[in-house]
Chains A and B, each alone.
Chain A
Amino acid sequence: MSATPDEPRLLDAGEAALVVEFGSTVDPAISDRVLALDDALGADPPEGLRERVPTYRSLMLHYDPLVLDRAALVERVRALAAGTTERTANTTLWTLPCCYAAPHGEDISQVAERTGLSPDAVVATHAGATYRVYMYGFAPGFAYLGGLPEVLAVPRRASPRPPHPANAVVIGGGLAAVATVPMPTGWYVIGATPARLYAPERDRSFFVGAGDLIRFEPVDAATFDALSAREAAGEPVARRWESRT
């Protein structure tokens, strides 16, 4: 099980899951390798592979060991990881409208206080960056985003604040996220998007994948309301751009 830097560590999580670990830190290069293997396995999944869960640094493979033998899975993973270092899928960029104004950007003044920036500068800095979806986790559709400018890297709260509404745009601990379901949070709520990244009743319940890029486009509260109405009527308000890298 000794691993060279180029070879992922393979860690058993019981007899029905295998963790393919490419590193132990949050790093776009590690994430690229995770997502490249995810793409490769997704393009031609071995029978018995039940779920692929990409995270910052690893790909968890849930499998049925009575259908897919561990040794066969390991061999497949090793071969693909050695031959696949770049993502084969196109890079997808989403532009999500985001209202930072009241009542949505509830915690902007607190972020301004903690960073020493003006509230307007907080908005301009957040909206000026391009984010990568590293992974989903924690709650349905909760998307962890990397790419937050260093100046906005405030630690998360020691104890959670009261629940935020659905589709809150949040920052904390050096990361950004879109929090799709209302819940108490240790993150700072700086805005909201009318785009619903998660809608269980929709044909495509999720449209943003791990590895996709996201930019936020500031809109005022009236526009937010209008876009929310369009989204509720089934007209997606997120805009999609695609390019081959």
Chain B
Amino acid sequence: MTALVIAAAGPGITLQDSGRNGYLRYGITAAGPMDPLLHATANRAAGNALDATAIEISTGGVTLSAEGGAIGLALIAPGFRVALDGAALPDRTAVTLEAGRTLVVRAGDAGSWGYCAVSGRIAVAPVLGSTATHTRSGLGGLDGRGLSAGDRLPVDETRSGDVAPQRLVMPWLDRDPRVIRVVLGPQDDYFAADQIDAFLAGPWTISPRGDRMACFLDGTPLTHAKGHDIVSDGVAMGAIQVPGNGLPIVLMADRQSTGGYPKIATVIGPDLGRLAQVRGGARIAFRQVTVAEAVAARRAERDVLHEPVAREPVVRTDFASDFLLGLNLVGGVADGRA
């Protein structure tokens, strides 16, 4: 049987489909990709359904090899460093991984999350209708945990492509991460007008202690007009809650389904991935939009996923020695988005 082998993996490498939907009412987190656009794009480039299971790559990095046959891969990891048997490849690449060859993906100058989709199907059993990994509750993926060295992912329905690597040309992935659009609410009435203004004006610095559950913001603390405890209500992905210390927390893919802090605003769907990609220490600002504007942005993002993916042959270029020397260090890279 053909299998994709995890030869090495840093922390935070998981299998994700588009998320576990339908069980929020029972306290089951949706999980799914931190950057939904990149995840869908990788699947599109691999010729899969947009919601298919793919490997989510953290800055921990991963090393992949193929067993039992060649596997076509689409790797979308903007800002990451990618190499096939030591030869550098673009961070948006279609490549056929033949048995015995090794693909290395490590953190580069930018970007927190990348995606690797196979041309075919990663054959892991869905749990509650989804393969999305939620490590906190031990659901989905491979035994509900992150991937680690020695794991073998069986691949069905493999389709072969060109053996030579190709650069994937997708201009829509060049997004501006510095301005994150939000819709105010649902509990913006827990804040006075000057605090809403202060929230929107920022600036906010992304804390390095974020993970798949939440993105923590550092800056001037906000004050509450009506206290910081509410009776629990539902939590959307992208909800920005403000706990007692006044520092906003953006709730991401692994968030809990309900929560008890006032939520001043909600990051719009198309900007969730942009926010997820920002590394710790970087500054962002928020911009208020209407629901109608957010829906228009969502529609534009959906439409872009139906545009053709252009492919260019890869010309071997950079072989900087520090890069080559660093290739086999991937297993020891520390976690985090810093």
Contact = CB atoms under 8 A, between A and B. Distances in A.
Interface string B197-239: 0000000000000000000000000000000001111111011
A21 B231 CA distance: 11
A54 interface: yes
Contact of A137 (B128, B137, B183, B256): B256
Contacts of A52: 25
Contacts of B239: 13-14
A137 B231 contact: no
A65 B22 CA distance: 17
Contact of A55 (B139, B233, B291, B302): B233
A72 interface: no
Contacts of B148: none
B236 A135 contact: no
Interface size class of B (residues with CB under 8 A): 35 or more
A14 B25 contact: no
B295 A53 contact: no
Interface stretch (B77-85, B99-107, B260-268): B260-268
B185 interface: yes
B22 A13 contact: no
Nearest to B272: A14
Interface string A49-60: 011111111111
Interface size class of A (residues with CB under 8 A): 35 or more
Contacts of A241: none
B232 A135 contact: yes
A216 to B, nearest CB: 20
A62 B235 CA distance: 10
B234 A53 contact: yes
Contacts of A14: 183, 236, 238-239, 266-269, 291, 294
A53 B257 CA distance: 8
Of B23, B29, B266, most buried by chain A (CB within 10 Å of CB) is B23
Given A15-B183, A50-B21, A51-B22, 6 more contacts: A17-B266, A51-B21, A56-B232, A57-B233, A60-B236, A137-B257
Interface of A: 11-17, 19, 21, 24-26, 50-60, 62, 65-66, 70, 135-142, 144, 181, 198, 200-201, 205-206, 210
19 contacts: A11-B185, A11-B187, A13-B183, A13-B266, A14-B267, A15-B269, A15-B295, A16-B269, A19-B186, A50-B21, A51-B24, A56-B233, A70-B291, A136-B25, A139-B27, A139-B137, A140-B137, A200-B139, A201-B127
Interface of B: 21-29, 127-128, 137, 139, 183, 185-187, 230-236, 238-239, 256-259, 263, 266-269, 291, 294-295, 298-299, 302
